[in-house]
Amino acid sequence: MFRHTRRMGLRSHGGKARFLTGLSLVLSFVFFLLLLDILVVSNVSQAAGPAGGREREFTITARQFAYSPPRIRVRLGDRVTLRVTSEDVVHGLYIDGYGINAKVYPGQETVVSFVANRPGKIRYRCSVICGNLHPFMIGEVVVGPNYTLWGALALTVLAAGGTVLMLWRRGEEIRDRSEEATDGTA
Ligand code: CUA
């Protein structure tokens, strides 16, 4: 009779371990959904505006047949403003894939602005025939990853993994303890 009641108690301990394992699975699923949510929201905000990014401003000079500096670096999601002035003749500024085409006059600042919403290189080129080598007058904006965003994502994954591991080990402990108790009574 006594042994019977102990067994009943032990069975409920095993149930607790199973419950904790189940809970850890549910929690990891919730974390996974959270992660997806963060990814989707951050993508939307990057497309809509500089929510995740910074305001970056660059002064660029145009002359036959190059832009100076020829290459600038920004992060994904940054709002990029280019202030361009010509040092000789009239040049142009056409930005691939952003529908921007402006003229750059000598001694006069032309300001264009866009959100760097795709990684890689954004090329811009001269769009006013300014001499022999006009077709080679090209500049580029290098769009690097947004480390703040990826850092936050990595932390979320670590936290989720840690929680699952902790719950798993606690479940194992309870299972071990109930097995020890079984040995004691047998
Ligand atoms: Cu500068 Cu064409």
How confident is the model at residue 23, as a pLDDT? 61
**Ligand 1 centroid – CA 110 distance (Å):** 15
Q: Are the C-beta atoms of 112 and 82 separated by less than 8 Å?
A: yes
Number of Cβ within a 10 Å radius of residue 139: 22
How confident is the model at residue 148, as a pLDDT? 74
- As a whole number of angstroms, the distance between CA 87 and CA 14 comes to 80
- As a whole number of angstroms, the distance between CA 146 and CA 83 comes to 24
* 90-118 residue pLDDT tens: 999 999 889 999 999 999 999 999 999 99
How confident is the model at residue 45, as a pLDDT? 46
How confident is the model at residue 48, as a pLDDT? 43
* 9-55 residue pLDDT tens: 445 556 666 766 666 666 655 555 555 455 544 544 444 444 578 99
How confident is the model at residue 46, as a pLDDT? 46
Kindly tell me if the per-residue pLDDT of 3 is higher than 80.
Answer: no
pLDDT band at 175 (very low <50, low <70, confident <90, very high): confident
Question: Which atom of ligand 1 lies closest to the CA of 131?
Answer: 2
How confident is the model at residue 105, as a pLDDT? 97
**Ligand 1 centroid – CA 69 distance (Å):** 15
Q: 102, 103, 49: which is closest to 77 by C-alpha?
A: 49
The model's pTM? 0.59
What's the number of CA atoms in the CB half-sphere (13 Å) around residue 21?
11
* 112-171 residue pLDDT tens: 999 999 999 999 999 999 999 999 999 999 999 887 777 778 888 888 888 888 888 888
What's the number of CA atoms in the CB half-sphere (13 Å) around residue 64?
8
Q: Dihedral of the CA atoms 146, 151, 156, 157 (nearest 10)?
A: 100
* 45-84 residue pLDDT tens: 444 444 578 999 999 999 999 999 999 999 999 999 999 9
Cα Rg of the chain (Å, integer): 30
Question: Which atom of ligand 1 lies closest to the CA of 91?
Answer: 1
158 vs 7, higher pLDDT = 158
Question: Which atom of ligand 1 lies closest to the CA of 128?
Answer: 2
- As a whole number of angstroms, the distance between CA 28 and CA 21 comes to 11
Sign of the alpha-carbon dihedral angle for 166, 167, 173, 176: negative
Alpha helix segments (H runs only) across the chain: 2-48, 147-185
